[in-house]
Structure 1
Amino acid sequence: MSNIINILWGALFFLSFSAIAQAQQVLSVAVLTTNERQSDIYRGVFNDFSTQSSQYDVNVTFFSDKEFKRLLPKWLETGEFDLLYWQAGERLRSLIAQDVIQPIDSLLPREELQSAIQPAVLRSVTHQSASNADAATYALPIAQYGWGFYYNKAVFQELSVKPPKNWKEFIALCQRIKAQGANPLVQAVQESWPVLAWLDYLSLDAGGLEFRQQLIDGQTLSGATADIFLKQFEQLLSNEWFFAPQRHWTWQQVMKVVEDKQAAMTLMGQFAEGTIDPLLNKDIGFFSFPKANQMNQAEVAPLEIWVVPRSAKNKAHLAPLLRFLLANNKEMAMGFDSLPVVNTQFTQDLPSDRVKIAANSLANSSTLVQFFDREAKDDIAKNAARSIAKSIHEDNSASLREGILKRTHINYETNTFAQAAELPQLYFASVTGLKESFFASNLMQEIYQQLGYGISVTRFGSLEASLNAYRFGGDGELMRVDGYKHLAPSLQQIPEPLANVSFYLVCKDLDMCATSLPKASEVSVINDLLVVNNWANENQVKLKKYDTVETLFRAFNDNEQGLMVLGASEIIDNKLLISSSTYRTIITVPLYHYVHNKHKELIPLIDSALKEYKKTEQYQALKNRYWLQHN
C-alpha cells in the first residue's frame, strides 16, 4: 500500500514539476510600433510560434517610438524583457559598447546565422567589442527597406517625362515638370527624420563614406568635397520646385499629395507602401536615388533588428524562437512592406514593381548604410534636419551651409505635432515676375483665414505653366485680369477685384514714350502677363522676356533704343536705375482672384469677405506697402 502511495506522490510531484517548468518558459518581448497593422503582424507571428511550440508562451508588449526609447535603458538593466526590437547602426554599436546585450551567436551557432542571413546584412550586425577579441554577431535582423522617389506615373505620362538614370537627368526632369505647370517635389519635414535622406544620399555622392561620417560626427567642414555637396543641393533650390514648402508635412501626407497629382514625386522610404490607396496603386511608381557620381553604388537601407539583453531572465530558452523568426522572415518582412534579410529567393514574391526596384538597388549596392539619425547623435541629427527643412522653406542654401557645414545652431521648428489643428489648405498658382502678386498673396491669406482656410502659392515662370497647374490639383489662380477666364474655363472669378494695377512703358529715348511705338519694336519684360501680351499684340510690338530684373535692366541699358514694361511697384523699387529715362502709363486694369469650380460654394463667401476687408485700414496699409495706393 505504501508503495502505491509513494508512486502516486511521485507522479504528482512530476506533474507539478512539469507544470512549473512549463510556466517558467514564458518569453517576454517588447516592440516599437507606429501603427496597428504592424502590431497585428507581430501578434500573428508570436501566436503562431506559441501554437507550434506549446511549451512556450510569448507575451508581447507594444510601445510608441518615444516611450520605447525612454524605457530601453531601464529594460537593459532589469531584464524585464527577453527580446527587444531595435535598430542597426550607431544605435546598435552603442549597446555593444555598453556591453548590455548578449551576442546572438552565443544562442544560435554562427554557421547557422551565416547560412540563413544575407552576407551584407550579417556584416551590419557583426562587431568586435571591447570585451571580446573576436567579432561577434550581436543582433538578429528583422527586415530592411530602401529609399528612393515615389512618383505619379500619370503625371509623368501627361508631361512626357520618364524616371531619370542620374543626377543630371533628375535636375532636367524637375525643370521640365515645373515648366509645364506641375510641382516637381514635395518633402516631409514634420517628423524631422524623413528629410535626412537627402543628407545621406548627397553626402555619399559628394565624398563617400568618409565625408558622410564627418557629417555624422558633427565636424566643421570646408574644401572641395563640401563645395560639391553644397552645390548639388543648391541645384534644387531657388526654383520653387518643392510644393508648399512652408507646410510641415508628415510623410503620410506627402504620399497623398503625390497620389492627388499636386506634386510629381517625393523622396521616401519603402515603409510608405502600406499607405498607398489600393485604387491608385498602379499609378504610383518608384525609382532609386539618381546619382551624380557614377562610381557611387551606396544605398540607404535602414535595418530593423532583435537584441537580447544580457540581463534577460529567460535567454537560455530563446533559441527556438530565434530560429522561428529566421524561418518566417520572408513573410514577416513583406508584411511590414519591407525587404527580407534571409538568403532564400524572394524577389518574385514581392508585392509590386516598386518594391522589386528597391530590392534590386540594394542587391546591386556595394555599400549599405543606416539612416543618418540612427548613426548621429540626437542634437546633430536634429540640427541637420532643421537646416535642410529651413533651406527648402526659404528656397536657398544658407541654412544648409550654416547648420551642416559650419555647425551653427539653426532655429526652425519642424516637429510641431500641430498638424491635426492646422487649417485645411488651398493651393493657388501665380506667375513669377510681378511684385503685386505678393500684395495679392498677403491679402488673400487674410481673407481665407477668416473663412477657415490656409493658402499656399506656387509660382510658375509662364502663363502656359500656370494654366496647366489645374490639371494637377490646383485650387485656383492667385490673381489675374478679367480676360483670364476665357483661357481657364474651369476657374470662377471672384466678382470683387483685389485692386487696380498700372503698367508703364519705360523708354530710354525720351521721344519714344511721347509717340506710338514703331511696329515690331522690341520691348523687354520680366513676366508673362495676359494684359501685357494683349497690349503688345494691339500695338504690333514684340516682347522679349527676361528671367530677372537684373538681366532686364542690363539689356535695357545696353540698348540705345531700350524699351521695357514694368508694374507700379517695379517702377518705385528701381527708380534710381531709370532716373534718366521716362515712362508713361499704358495699362490700368483691375486684378481678380479665381477659384476652381470645385470650390464654387466659396465664391459668395470670398466676395463678401473681400468687400468688407477693403473697407479696413489694414487693406489701405497693404496697398501702400506695394505702391498701389494711387491705382
Structure 2
Amino acid sequence: MNFRDALLVVLFFCASSLLSAEEIRVSLQLQPNQRDTFERIFQQFQVETGIKIVSVVETDLGYKRKVPLWLIERKDTPDVMFWSASQRLYLYAEKGLILPITELWDEQNYDELFSHVKTGVTLNGEVYAIPFAYYHWGLFFRKSMVEQFGGAPEDWESFIAVLTRMKKAGITPIGIGTRQNWPAAAWFDYINLRMNGLDFHLELLNGNVSFHDARVQNVLLEWKRLIDSQFYNEDHENYDWDGVLPFFYRNKMGFMLLGNFVASRWPVRDPLFEDIGFMPFPTINRGIPYYENAPTDVFMIPKSTTKVAEAKAFLRFMARADVQTTLNKDLGYLPPNREATVGEDRFIRDGAELISRAAGLAQYFDRDTPPAFDELATPLLADYISTGNIDALTEGLEAARITIFGLTPNPQDSQPVP
C-alpha cells in the first residue's frame, strides 16, 4: 500500500469514527459574550468522553419562550437544558417533564458538595437538576462619586441621606431600566428581605400571606420614600436593564441594584473600571440577619430525551469542581461546588464574601414565585416606581395572589392597616 492509499484509509476511519460518535444537544441561555466560554468547556467534555455537544443558544426572552415548546409540546427538545432553580424548575418537575436524577445525586455523594443549594433543585424528595453557577446581587456605584457624598452607606437611613445629597447636586441617585419589568422586583425583594427576613419573603411569594398584611405594607412604604423623593430616573420604562449603563459611566447616576451578570458589560480596559464599587444592600431592620439574592443556574434532563446515559455523563462533568472553577471564573459567577475555587476578579471575591456571611439565600422574585404569578406581579412592581401608588399596587398584587393561588378573598384583608 502506497502512502496515498494509507492516508485515504486513515481519513476514512477518522471520518467513520466522527460519524459514529455520540452527540447530544445542550440548550443555553446566554449573554452575547458568554458563548465561547461554554464552547471551551464543551470541547473538553468531548475530548474526555467522545460525546459531541451541539449547543442550542438563545438570549433571555427567546429562551424563556422556547422552554414550554421544548418541554410541553416536545418540539425539537434538547437532551440537556439550561434552566433556573426553585419555582421555575418545580413547574416542570411537577408536570413530570424533567427526569429525576436523585440516584445520580446519591451515587456521587453530591450532598457533600451542594447541600447549601440542594433545596432549589429538590421537589417532594426528588432531585431534578445540577447547580453549576450562581451569582450575587448588590449595589454598584462609582467610588469617587460616592466619596463626595459621604461614602458607601451601611444602613438604610444613611443610604437615603446619600441619595438625598446626590439629588440636590443634580445627579439621578438610582439608575434602573424596567422595559422588561424584572429589574424592579430586586427593590421589593431586598427591602422585604431586610425588613422581614427570608422565611416571610418565601411565604409571601408562594401565596401564603396577603399583600394587605401590615408587614408588606411597611415594605411598600419604605420603597415609596425612594419613589416620592424622585430618586429613580423618570424614564426608566424606556430602558432595558443595561440601557442606563452609559449614564452610570458618565457620573450621571449614583447607584444601580443589579446581579453580577453586569460584569459582562463592564468596560474592563477603561480606567473607569477601577472606579466601580460594590456594596451589599443596606441594613434596614437590625434584628434581621443578612439574606441575599443568589439566583442559581442549573442543567436538567428533559424526560423525553432518548440519550439519558450521555445526558447524565454531561451532568456529572458539569458538577465537577475543576469544571465549575474554570467556567465560573470566565463567566464572572460563583461555583456552587464547595471544592471549586473562586476566581480572582474583585467583584467575584466580593460576592463570595457576601454569600458566605448570608444567613440564607433567595433566588430572586421571578424564581421564588410561580411563573404565572410573576407574569402578573412584576409589571405592577415596575409601574409602582412611576406611580408610588400603594393602594393600586396592593390591590393588583392581592388580586393576582387570589387568582393564581386559587384563594377565596378575605374581606378583612381589604381593611386599612391600623
**Shorter-chain TM-score category?**
0.7 to 0.9
The answer to whether structure 1 residue 143 and structure 2 residue 133 are counterparts is yes
Match of residue 391, structure 1, among 378, 384, 395 = 384
User: 1:415-466 CA deviation, whole Å, 9 max, x = no partner?
Assistant: xxxxxxxxxxxxxxxxxxxxxxxxxxxxxxxxxxxxxxxxxxxxxxxxxxxx
Shift of 1:263: 0.7
Kindly indicate whether the alpha-carbon contact (under 8 Å) linking 1:25 and 1:314 is maintained by their aligned counterparts in 2.
no
Contact 2:99–2:301, Cα closer than 8 Å, also in 1: yes
1 CA distance for matches of 2:349 and 2:392? 36
**Structure-2 residue corresponding to 1:94:** 91
Which residue of structure 1 lines up, in the alignment, with residue 326 of structure 2? 331
Query: In 1, distance between residues paired with 2:259 and 2:189?
Result: 13
Higher mean C-alpha deviation, range 389-398 or range 315-324: 389-398
Residues 86 and 306 of structure 1: is their aligned pair in 2 closer, same or farther, counting only changes over 3 Å? same
Q: Is 1:346–2:338 an aligned residue pair?
A: no
Partner SS state of residue 28, structure 1: strand
CA contact (8 A) 1:239 1:395 kept: no
1:196–1:384 CA contact under 8 A, matched in 2: no
Take 2:229 and 2:163, find their aligned partners in 1: how far apart are those partners? 9
CA distance in 2, matches of 1:297, 1:20: 54
For residues 189-230 of structure 1, the C-alpha deviation after alignment (integer angstroms, 9 at most, x for no partner) is 011111111121122233333344324539642242123212
Matching of residue 296 in structure 1 with residue 289 in structure 2? yes
**Offset of 1:61 from its aligned partner?**
1.5
Instruction: Note if contact 1:219-1:407 (Cα within 8 Å) is conserved in structure 2.
Output: no
Aligned pair 1:163/2:152, yes or no? yes
Match of 1:287 among 246, 262, 279: 279
Gaps spanning 5+ residues in structure 1: where? Answer: 1-14, 129-134, 410-631
Q: Which amino acid aligns with 1:288?
A: P
Match of 2:54 in 1: 59
The residue aligned with 1:196 is 185
What are the ranges of 5 or more consecutive residues in structure 2 without an aligned counterpart?
A: 1-11, 403-418
1:187/1:245 contact within 8 Å kept? no
Asked whether the equivalents of residues 220 and 407 of structure 1 are also in contact (C-alpha less than 8 Å), the reply is: no
* Equivalences, count: 382
Q: In 2 relative to 1, CA 237–57 (structure 1 residues): closer, same or farther, beyond 3 Å?
A: closer
Q: What TM-score do the two structures reach when normalised by structure 1? A: 0.56
- Residues 503-518 of structure 1 aligned to structure 2 (within 5 Å): none
DSSP 3-state at the match of 1:346:
coil
AA aligned to 1:86 is: W
Q: Pick one of 350, 357, 369 that aligns with 2:362.
A: 369
Q: 1:122 to 1:220 in 2, by over 3 A?
A: closer
Q: Is the 8 A contact 1:104 1:139 kept in 2?
A: yes
Contact 1:143 1:305 in 2 (8 A): yes
Q: What corresponds to 1:205 in structure 2?
A: 194
Q: Tell me the distance in 1 between the aligned counterparts of 2:119 and 2:175.
A: 35
Q: Contact between 1:242 and 1:392, CA under 8 Å: does it hold in 2? A: yes
- 2:9 alignment counterpart: none
Equivalent-residue separation in structure 2 for 1:270 and 1:396 (angstroms): 30
Alpha-carbon deviation of 1:251?
A: 1.4
Q: Secondary structure at the match of 1:187?
A: coil
Q: Structure 1: how far apart are the matches of 2:96 and 2:357? A: 34
| TM-score w.r.t. length of structure 2 | 0.82
Are residues 24 and 76 of structure 1, via their aligned partners in 2, closer, same or farther at CA, if it must alter by over 3 Å?
Answer: farther
For 2:278, give the aligned amino acid.
F
Aligned equivalent of 2:118 = 122
Choose from 266, 272, 291 the match for 2:256. 266
| Alignment check: 8 A CA contact 2:205 2:365 kept | no
Is 2:78 the counterpart of 1:81? Answer: yes
3-state SS, counterpart of residue 178 of structure 1: helix
CA distance in 1, matches of 2:69, 2:240: 31
| Alignment deviations for residues 61-100 of structure 1 (CA, whole Å, 9 cap, x no partner) | 2123344333334433648422111111111111221122
**Larger relative contact order (C-alpha < 8 A, sep ≥ 6)?**
2
**How many Å apart are 1:165 and its aligned residue?**
1.4
Shift of 1:292: 1.0
Question: Percent identical across equivalent pairs?
Answer: 23
Residues 579-606 of structure 1: per-residue CA shift (max 9 Å, x gap): xxxxxxxxxxxxxxxxxxxxxxxxxxxx
Quick one: structure 1 residues 246 and 298, their matched pair in 2 at CA, closer, same or farther if it must change by over 3 Å?
A: closer
Please tell me the residue identity of whatever aligns with 2:120: S
Cα deviations by residue, 1:327-385 (Å, 9 ceiling, x for unpaired): 301221232221111112534x3312x33222211121122111111233445324433
- With over 3 angstroms needed to count, the CA separation of the structure-2 counterparts of 1:263 and 1:125, relative to structure 1, is same
Higher helix content, 1 or 2 = 2
Would the alpha carbon gap of residues 398 and 360 (structure 1) be closer, same or farther in structure 2, given more than 3 Å must change?
same
C-alpha spacing 1:74/1:148, structure 2 compared with 1 (3 Å): same
Cα distance in 2 for partners of 1:322, 1:360 equals 27
Q: CA RMSD in A?
A: 2.8
Is 1:237 matched up with 2:227? yes
Letter in structure 2 aligned against 1:173: V
- Is the contact made by 2:87 and 2:371 (CA closer than 8 Å) also made in structure 1? no
For 1:72 and 1:40, the matched residues in 2 are separated by 22
Q: Which residue of 2 aligns with 1:45?
A: 41
Amino acid at match of 1:153: K
Aligned to 1:225, which of 210, 215, 231? 215
Q: Could you say if the C-alpha distance between residues 191 and 334 of structure 1 is closer, same or farther in structure 2, counting changes exceeding 3 Å?
A: farther
Q: Deviations over 1:288-323 (max 9, x none)?
A: 111312323211111110001222111113343223
SS at the partner of 2:337?
Answer: coil
Amino acid at match of 1:50: Q
Aligned to 1:559: none
Question: Is 2:88–2:367's contact at 8 Å kept on the other side of the alignment?
Answer: yes
Determine if contact 2:132/2:337 at 8 Å carries over to the other structure. Answer: no
What is the DSSP-based 3-state SS (H/G/I as helix, E as strand, rest coil) of the residue aligned with 1:309?
coil
CA deviation map 1:30-85 (0-9, x unaligned) = 222232x12222212111211233x3222222123344333334433648422111
Q: Which structure has the bigger radius of gyration? A: 1
**Cα 1:247/1:314, change in 2 over 3 Å:** closer
Q: Which moved more, 1:250-259 or 1:260-269?
A: 250-259
